[in-house]
Amino acid sequence: MADFTLPELGENVAAGDVLRILVKPGDVLAKDQPVLELETDKATIEVPSSIAGTVKDVRIKVGDKVKVGQVILSVEAAGGNAAAAPASAPAKTEAPAAKIAAVAAAAPVAVERPAPAVTSHAAAVEASQPDGPMAPASPSVRRLARELGIDIAQVAGSGEDGRISIDDVKAHTKRIVTSGGGAASGATALPHAEPLPDFTRWGAVDRQELRGIRRKTAEHLTAAWLTIPHVTQHDYADLTSLESVRKKYQKQVAAAGGALTVTAVAVKIVAAALKVFPQFNASIDLANNAIIYKKYVNIGVAVDTDRGLLVPVIRDADTKNLTQISVELMQLSEKARTKKITLEEMQGGCFSISNLGGLGGGLFTPIVNAPEVAILGIARGKFQPVYDTETKEFSARQLLPLSLSYDHRVIDGADGVRFLRWVVEAFEQPFAMSLY
């Protein structure tokens, strides 16, 4: 007999939730045959077997959380080989449900109420030590600590007799985050304002576990919102001239296997802009008092799928022409929608673009995808009357709403305006793109 264990799933992926089991006892198993569908924090993966033989026992069930190295199957190996074959890497990934959504930071409430039920790891720590001295802090300060997942007993108070203030809790949280300790020491729960009511009092509900992609997305965006001082700059680009050029060449690009879309043009423009404004192609390392400037240009593009929003990455976008970018974007988008996108194809981004124009709406505030320091949001373009100061007349122009969010620790407001104006002018002067 041989045991098949869960193989390495990818960088920083140690476990996953079992969505489907693709074999049963008695099945004849071929090497590289998918045996398990697993949802990790990053993607949904089909795990292939590294063993050929007959399945004797399935050691897991749907809904289990399994870890790398855990025994999945017992197999009577072909040829009577009793040694367990080494686990292989996963063959493919499929699109997870990971729509980007803003998660607002919890704010302290001035009105003091009775302490709520335990809602976080830190609150559990505090509740589990009733015999110890109570940290000197008001109920509103304690509530903020619970919301942030902070053990208030670990916070140094700056007030009289060591009394802890809201600023002390915030400073403690900042120290933990910048030192790489996560949102709180030992905490994994997301911050939330207060215990939820019993919704079943008013009708039927469907309660689903927050897990896998959705949990990781919520944690990631919460941390980004809590730790990155966001600034969002809005502007409009006049697409009237670009649209005539785009329509002229779209058949030529289509013949090459791509689609000459506004998103593809945006990738080309942003890739060029990052060469002009290197501070937008950076990551901040506060723990080591450094800013890391990348010499490569990889652009992540949000793709809407039936399972959520994925962000495949176009690598070395600055070295590719518009046709190449259009073809690659088409291919990556198709792989995302058909559940064939890999983890590697969604990693290594330097800057992200989120185009919601196909869904409608106007200007919005995208959240920076840490450790990146900026993201460009694109909304639906529409014709609007624009006054021409030379002709003294109004004319219909097709305007594209753009929203640039950036990390104010790395990027000054003036540079944010300069970057977005550069992008706007590139949209408005199609010929200028050939110069970069």
| Closest alpha carbon to 138 in 107, 96, 102, 169 | 169
Chain mean position to CA 388: 41
CB 284, CB 318: distance < 8 Å: no
Tokens matching residue 37 = 């569908």
The rounded distance, in Å, linking the Cα atoms of 186 and 178 is 15
Tell me the DSSP string of 107-131.
---SS--PPPPP-SHHHHHHHT-TT
Of 334, 396, 354, the C-alpha closest to 262 is 354
Please tell me the distance from the alpha carbon of residue 326 to that of residue 253, in angstroms, as a whole number: 7
Six token digits for residue 66: 């399994």
C-alpha 26/C-alpha 41 separation (Å) is 32
Single out the catalytic residue among 192, 230, 234, 408.
408
**408 catalytic residue (yes or no):** yes
**400 DSSP β-pair partners:** 237
- Within 26-180, strands assigned E span 28-29, 34-39, 44-48, 53-58, 65-67, 71-77, 92-94
Whole-angstrom CA distances from 8 to 67, 76, 89, 97, 340 are 9, 23, 6, 22, 19
- Residues identified as active-site: 408
